[in-house]
Structure 1
Amino acid sequence: MTGDLLARHRAVLPEWLALYYGEPLEITHGEGRHVWDSAGNKYLDFFGGILTTMTAHALPEVTKAVSEQAGRIVHSSTLYLNRPMVELAERIAQLSAIPDARVFFTTSGTEANDTALLLATAHRRGNTVLAMRNSYHGRSFASVGVTGNRGWSPTSLSPLQTLYVHGGVRARGPYAHLDDREFIDACVADLTDLLGHTRDPVALIAEPVQGVGGFTSPPDGLYAAFRAVLRERGVLWIADEVQTGWGRTGDHFWGWQAHARNGPPDIVTFAKGLGNGMSVGGVIARAEIMNCLDANSISTFGGTQITMAAGLANLTHLLENDLQGNARRVGGLLVERLRSAAAGVPHVREVRGRGLMIGVELTRPGTDEADPEAASAVQEEARAGGLLIGRGGGHDTSVLRIAPPLSLTVAEAEEGAAVLERALRGL
């Protein structure tokens, strides 16, 4: 049955539409932190549809909200007043810490980042953008143009002039040997030198934790130090919170809060987990920035009633059940358990992460050379053991990405870690 579906997939869908596993998997249903495939096999889900099933599969509150809203009206576009959209925007604006915040809803993180770039270039009247090396911001023409990861950037053409900055990867590159303070100082010096050779950029776009790049991040405070330099020139700070938002890092509700010495970003983008599987993204910005467009604009599908109902129910559940706190507690246990499991495994270069956003980087033993074959082998073995994980880390995809729903229990964390330990020690 799966083989027939795979053949049909290959016959009508693009070759570049990647599939995990040598024998791809059809997921048919889920509950809590588990999913089942078309053959009836049960898996503990440590990837959540790429960090999108944020709270739990088949969360009753979200299922009920979607069902009830579908029975009333599914969609009307932004040309009409939309109560669920206004209610969700009010909550997000309050949670954002951005003064006089405005919220615009999209259907994806790609579209959210595209909109943020549109706002920044229109507000600042320029097209030069700073981005981080090893970054990923989406698959549209503009967002590919600020993606600093060649494995996810299929064209060098772009409507933007993009300049790439050091700092997103702590343990690799020319500053890896420095301590955290020296690392930040070196990155700021590099940024300052770069600015001396170009017209002032309109914005810096950065993920607080690089998702596709392998869950790597700079020392806390780097982006605050960048901002001190950029603010003198009027350069905006766009925080791409598509993967880090809503408490996933445990320590903070937003990833940018690890760099919050001088206030919130000018623009925040979000998506992924808010809708718990429904297609919701968006942009938060100060009113002066959000309202800078001098042309007509609407959104046909952004903010549609059914996705807003899902987002409201999901966000309410997350806040009322302190899933950020659970991510901090269970994520802390899981990362320590994985470090213990990886101890003495020659292929493991680093186990890193915050909250329930954990990366295990694999290299060829005795070198710093990425080992995508080993990562693929561990991913396959984990599946055989009943565990689904992701991969990332650039074009070489040699980092195991672990990002379960934020309701993960201690017992489930132990179960998943045990499967991963067996897979790693089998290399």
Structure 2
Amino acid sequence: MTGLHERHLAVSPEWLSLYYRRPLELTRGEGRHVWDADGNRYLDFFGGILTTMTAHALPEVTKAVSEQAGRIIHSSTLYLNRPLVELAERVASLSGIPDARVFFTTSGTEANDTALLLATAHRGSNQILAMRNSYHGRSFSTVSVTGNRSWSPTAFSPLQTTYVHGGVRHRGPYADLGDAEFIEACVADLEDLLGHIRTPAALIAEPVQGVGGFTAPPDGLYAAFREVLDRHGVLWISDEVQTGWGRTGDHFWGWQAHARNGPPDILTFAKGIGNGMSIGGVVARADVMNCLDAHSISTFGGSPVTMAAGLANLSYLLEHDLQGNARRVGGLLIERLRAVGARSPAVREVRGRGLMIGIELVRPGTDDADPDGASAVLEAARAGGLLIGKGGGHDTSVLRVAPPLSLTVAEAEEGAEILADALHAAG
């Protein structure tokens, strides 16, 4: 055990997770690579949990941060803030939400917490619908709408939450149905549920479940849900903390795979927009955003430095068509990983969209999740020079692959090769 690890354990809570038997201290990053304190170089396929969206040490972002820090670092929302207004204008336009208003936070957890506050205040109800296997953050309210028991440490809640079918396509009671029948069954279940409970304020849902193992319903499920929700006056919150900014390749936002009825009422975002700087936020129609009848501010949300970083990062992403790169290179990477998976009896499924890919592991010859196997592959991949993540339901048996969106074809090929060797070594 390293001295830093011992010091970490002495001052940190036991529930603060660390990857690897020998935890890793990252000291430098460039492009799609990072280096540890011992000088070892790794291809980064997790990007600080989908947060290093464009590239490590992107010159445009570091320059914007440095220049803004040289002018003023902090002011709070009590004063006009030009970078905040400029980024809000761009996010509002990109969101697809009409007459949109934007509120910046410091994290995805805080963004979802704010969305729940808005929805419950607007609808006058503390009833919330959420998806099974979901994850929305670590605050008291967001834990209470998280449908993944590994990440929900308490049954106490300020909200009354009911969990809905549909976020996981290939496990559960409807797994054997075709896509159309799957959607029909989930919609029928939602209709039945709404007949038994008081009218909820909102449904909160990730278009692709992140911590849940990059699972997703068939395209169109949330559009079908929306028809039911609209009839009952229930808002739709799309949690885009992991799916936003073009990561799925096919769409800029995850909700656009379910766009038959237009954008969500409320959209939350975080992670990638700051490329490592602490930015989260909420976009909502003006009538929803303005429903609160008390004053509020944010001390750190929308700080000049983080807003400058977000503007530079978003500009780079759009000008270099990183969404298109995620679609092209991500498609190649999924193809390579499916070929790898076909040769491994431990791989149940390789799924994903763009540069958001999950590899679900099982004990060979069974359909039982294999969290120990996932941990072994994580270790073997590190030994081979590749960093990936883990996720899934309570079993944590899914390898999560989510590189920066500037990933090259050569790096995708290299990463797939290392993963193939890691699966072989761990199996």
Partners of 1:96 and 1:161 lie apart in 2 by 29
User: In the alignment, what sits opposite 1:392?
Assistant: 391
Partners of 2:219 and 2:370 lie apart in 1 by 28
User: In the alignment, what sits opposite 1:382?
Assistant: 381
Partners of 2:366 and 2:121 lie apart in 1 by 46
**1:232 alignment partner, SS class:** helix
User: 1:207-222 maps to which residues of 2 (within 5 A)?
Assistant: 207-222=206-221
User: 1:231-242 maps to which residues of 2 (within 5 A)?
Assistant: 231-242=230-241
**2:247 alignment partner, SS class:** coil
User: In the alignment, what sits opposite 1:185?
Assistant: 184
User: 1:6-405 maps to which residues of 2 (within 5 A)?
Assistant: 6-405=5-404
Question: What amino acid is the match of 2:196?
Answer: H
Partners of 1:149 and 1:58 lie apart in 2 by 34
Tell me how far 1:389 sits from its aligned partner: 0.2
Deviations 1:185-221 (A, max 9, x none): 0000000000000011000000000000000000000
Question: What amino acid is the match of 2:13?
Answer: P
Tell me how far 1:368 sits from its aligned partner: 1.5
Partners of 2:13 and 2:28 lie apart in 1 by 25
Question: What amino acid is the match of 1:423?
Answer: A
The runs of at least 4 aligned residues of structure 1 exceeding 4 Å deviation read none
User: In the alignment, what sits opposite 2:415?
Assistant: 416
Partners of 1:46 and 1:272 lie apart in 2 by 15
User: In the alignment, what sits opposite 1:425?
Assistant: 424
Partners of 1:139 and 1:362 lie apart in 2 by 26
Partners of 1:62 and 1:104 lie apart in 2 by 22
Partners of 2:386 and 2:171 lie apart in 1 by 29
Tell me the matched-pair count: 426
Tell me how far 1:395 sits from its aligned partner: 2.1
Tell me how far 1:424 sits from its aligned partner: 1.0
Partners of 1:115 and 1:369 lie apart in 2 by 37
Partners of 2:114 and 2:133 lie apart in 1 by 21
Partners of 2:84 and 2:294 lie apart in 1 by 22
Deviations 1:167-196 (A, max 9, x none): 000000000000000000000000000000
Question: What amino acid is the match of 1:366?
Answer: G
**1:173 alignment partner, SS class:** coil
Partners of 1:98 and 1:292 lie apart in 2 by 17
Question: What amino acid is the match of 1:188?
Answer: V
Partners of 1:254 and 1:368 lie apart in 2 by 32
Question: What amino acid is the match of 1:305?
Answer: P
**2:261 alignment partner, SS class:** coil
Deviations 1:84-123 (A, max 9, x none): 0000000000000100000000000000000000000000
Q: Percent identity between the aligned chains?
A: 81
Partners of 2:219 and 2:230 lie apart in 1 by 19
Root-mean-square deviation (Å): 0.5
Partners of 1:372 and 1:233 lie apart in 2 by 40
Task: Report the TM-score, using the length of structure 2 for normalisation.
Answer: 0.99
Question: What amino acid is the match of 1:38?
Answer: A
Partners of 1:264 and 1:367 lie apart in 2 by 40
Partners of 1:275 and 1:421 lie apart in 2 by 32
**1:71 alignment partner, SS class:** helix
Partners of 1:123 and 1:342 lie apart in 2 by 47
Tell me how far 1:156 sits from its aligned partner: 0.3
Partners of 1:390 and 1:263 lie apart in 2 by 33
Partners of 1:26 and 1:370 lie apart in 2 by 29
Structure 1: stretches of 5+ with no match in the other structure: none
Tell me how far 1:366 sits from its aligned partner: 1.7
Question: What amino acid is the match of 1:30?
Answer: G
**2:2 alignment partner, SS class:** helix
Question: What amino acid is the match of 1:250?
Answer: G
Tell me how far 1:344 sits from its aligned partner: 2.7
Partners of 1:17 and 1:257 lie apart in 2 by 34
Task: Report the TM-score, using the length of structure 1 for normalisation.
Answer: 0.99
Partners of 1:60 and 1:198 lie apart in 2 by 52
